[in-house]
Structure 1
Amino acid sequence: MIRVRRVAVTAAVLATLATTGCTAAGADERPLVAVTTNILGDVVERVVGDSADVMVLMPPGADPHSFEVSAQEAARLRSADLVVENGLGLEEGVARHVEAAATDGVPVFTAGDAIDVLDWTTEDASGPDPHFWTDPARMRAVVDALGAELHEVQGLDDDTLDSALRDYRGELDALDDDMATAFAALPEERRALVTNHHVFGYLADRFDFRVVGAVIPSGTTLASPSAADLRDLASAIEDAGVPTIFVDASQPARLAEVLADEVDVHVRIRSLATESLTPEGEGAATYLEMMRANTEAIVNGLSARN
């Protein structure tokens, strides 16, 4: 009798484990979409919902130019059903892993391929500007191209995907309209931007701003300014009457503070979440939330009096 009961218990345990295993396997059967940046990760999560396992490589608050991935994440990247990257040289610390996944045959969607690319330029250098998301109209073009790519992923329902894409396009259109209305309150002489590096080129192009300059005269935070760069920028700031420098929240404000202290340019320094989303509850946990918060901050910062 005891032996029979033990067998029965063992059989019950094995049945439970088998059921649990089937449930886990079922969950694991969802397609894996790996996304390099958290901005694009938010967009992908909004569009696919629970239909896919979305692995976002870049943590909140990270610098997209320099963040790196773990060995485990790099391995999963090479087994993904789709990799979504920003491109245009943004993910400098992750590019080789994306290339390895592509070599293994993983489809890679490069968002930068879906837009008309602008260049950041200085007197000495130039390059493709990867920060297209500051223009919601270009972001819509990215979403349109991404939608076509997601339709090729096995396991995603076409009708559900189309509905989600349609809804998100509507939110991007509303964002674009709201930003245009908010920026219209700024007079032309106040529509001048200075940032810690060249991050607002697309926003300036879409909403008719002037990019006066950047503390780091480059499209990446991994560069550094010279003393001459700071002096030239100081002159440009004074000539344009810029009241506020906008510094990305993922980067310390040290360089902007040096500009204010050592070159004797007295401006406000305002932190924005421009290249990375924040953790939940910190004001920029989604792309739409980030853009609305930044719009308000830019209007307030450029409306201030010196």
Structure 2
Amino acid sequence: MSALRSEDPVPVIPTPTRLAAGVAGLALLAALLAGCGSSSAGSGNAGAGGRLPVVATTSQVADFTRVVGGDRVRVAQLLKPNVDPHDYEPTPADIEAVADAKVLVENGVGLESWLDDAVGAAGFDGIRVDASRGVTIRAGSGDEEKAGDPHIWHNPLNAKIMVADIERGLAQADPANAGYFHANRIIYDKKLDVLDGDIRRQIATIPPADRKLVTNHDAFGYYIERYGLTFVGSIIPSFDTAAELSGSNIRTIVDRIRRTGTKAVFSESSLPPRTARTIATEAGVRVEAGEDSLYGDSLGPAGSDGSTYLQMEEHNTRVIVAALR
């Protein structure tokens, strides 16, 4: 699947070969000329209000697209906050949004397994941006992650690559605003560098022997690799966040927590906290669960500590450091 596809040529209004005589013919010609003259360079793909219509699948890539596109884009976000992207089913409104878009931004790495069907149903023929293009992909876990681990955004350096992919797609769709998109991306790159340095500084305050994570599911591999943590195990041993744990699975993870001296169990804000609390109680360790726990597969709602990508990663780091230090 190609990450970027050139859009179809912008339709050109045909010039009539013969204009009817009289006022009606002159009015038609004037309307045609006025319509052509009112369009600015690069605005052929603009939607309502002169903004480029873009669809973004996940909350993360939607946030990146809004940052780069600024007030020159109109972003329709398919997955709402705290919605699991793995088994999402597009709605009729989603299909309509894809049909109306000139650019489609996706996370990639198999996260949106439902997307190709949605694109086909919508008849989308614009520019498709795979935000994982250029990212070094970790091996996935199980048959569900044959393309690799899709949780690429949990490393800010990967986020820089994703943002650059999005910039290229927007610039291809709207060359007149390419400089604007580039300037926004450069500013955001600096914020991502600051975020990366701050996370490294905070993780360094955790004693090395205590830098061990048990999470709800295996969604933080890129974060763990980047910041030198150890992954002890996941509460849900599968790609499916709705999977139920057996008694033997619970005993296994509890035993592993005890053997490794892991200090805490981390659930996710978008997932039920009951199992995480049960395991932490059995193991005799701290639990971080509920609305203020980690943001894994999705950003949080507006006003939460995870409402943007930068806030999400800062929040996750604070929670991890507080629990392990």
TM-score range, shorter chain: 0.7 to 0.9
In 2, the alpha carbon distance for the partners of 1:155 and 1:285 equals 30
Is 1:75 the counterpart of 2:96? The answer is yes
- What is the root-mean-square deviation of aligned Cα atoms in Å? 2.3
**In the alignment, which residue of structure 2 is the partner of 1:279?**
301
Aligned residue type for 1:208: G
1:41 to 59, 62, 75: 62
2:323 to 294, 301, 306: 301
CA deviation after TM superposition for structure 1 residue 138, in Å: 1.0
Aligned residue type for 1:30: R
Task: Assess, with a 3 A threshold, how the Cα gap between structure 1 residues 230 and 247 changes in structure 2: closer, same or farther.
Answer: same
In 2, the alpha carbon distance for the partners of 1:292 and 1:113 equals 25
Is 1:269 the counterpart of 2:290? The answer is no
Is 1:290 the counterpart of 2:312? The answer is yes
SS in 1 for 2:267: strand
In 2, the alpha carbon distance for the partners of 1:191 and 1:28 equals 50
CA deviation after TM superposition for structure 1 residue 134, in Å: 1.0
**In the alignment, which residue of structure 2 is the partner of 1:136?**
156
1:1-306 matches, within 5 Å, as 27-92=48-113, 94=115, 96-98=117-119, 100=121, 104-121=124-141, 127=146, 128-154=148-174, 157-260=177-280, 264-270=282-288, 271-303=293-325
**Cα-to-partner distance string for 1:180-199 (whole Å, 9 max, x where unaligned):** 11111112111111111001
**Cα-to-partner distance string for 1:81-128 (whole Å, 9 max, x where unaligned):** 111111223234555314545x64232212223311112447x98642
Task: Assess, with a 3 A threshold, how the Cα gap between structure 1 residues 182 and 260 changes in structure 2: closer, same or farther.
Answer: closer
The answer as to whether partners of 2:217 and 2:238 remain within 8 angstroms in 1 is yes
What number of residue pairs does the alignment pair up? 276
The answer as to whether partners of 1:62 and 1:250 remain within 8 angstroms in 2 is yes
In 2, the alpha carbon distance for the partners of 1:160 and 1:232 equals 53
The answer as to whether partners of 1:119 and 1:129 remain within 8 angstroms in 2 is yes
The answer as to whether partners of 2:264 and 2:280 remain within 8 angstroms in 1 is no
Aligned residue type for 1:267: V
CA deviation after TM superposition for structure 1 residue 156, in Å: 5.3
SS in 1 for 2:231: strand
In 1, the alpha carbon distance for the partners of 2:182 and 2:133 equals 21
| Runs of 4+ in structure 1 over 4 Å off | 92-95, 124-127
In 1, the alpha carbon distance for the partners of 2:98 and 2:138 equals 29
**In the alignment, which residue of structure 2 is the partner of 1:6?**
none
TM-score (normalizing by structure 1): 0.82
The answer as to whether partners of 2:141 and 2:149 remain within 8 angstroms in 1 is no
TM-score (normalizing by structure 2): 0.78
Aligned residue type for 1:27: A
In 2, the alpha carbon distance for the partners of 1:71 and 1:175 equals 37
In 2, the alpha carbon distance for the partners of 1:95 and 1:221 equals 22
Identity across aligned pairs (percent)?
A: 33
Task: Assess, with a 3 A threshold, how the Cα gap between structure 1 residues 244 and 176 changes in structure 2: closer, same or farther.
Answer: same
In 1, the alpha carbon distance for the partners of 2:126 and 2:178 equals 21
**Greater Cα offset, 48-57 or 90-99:** 90-99
SS in 2 for 1:251: coil
In 1, the alpha carbon distance for the partners of 2:206 and 2:287 equals 19
**Greater Cα offset, 44-53 or 277-286:** 277-286
Aligned residue type for 1:59: K
Gaps of 5+ in 1: 1-21
Q: Which structure is higher in strand share? A: 1
In 2, the alpha carbon distance for the partners of 1:93 and 1:256 equals 29
In 2, the alpha carbon distance for the partners of 1:97 and 1:198 equals 27
The answer as to whether partners of 1:79 and 1:106 remain within 8 angstroms in 2 is no
**Greater Cα offset, 274-283 or 179-188:** 274-283
Task: Assess, with a 3 A threshold, how the Cα gap between structure 1 residues 151 and 207 changes in structure 2: closer, same or farther.
Answer: same
Gaps of 5+ in 2: 1-37, 39-45
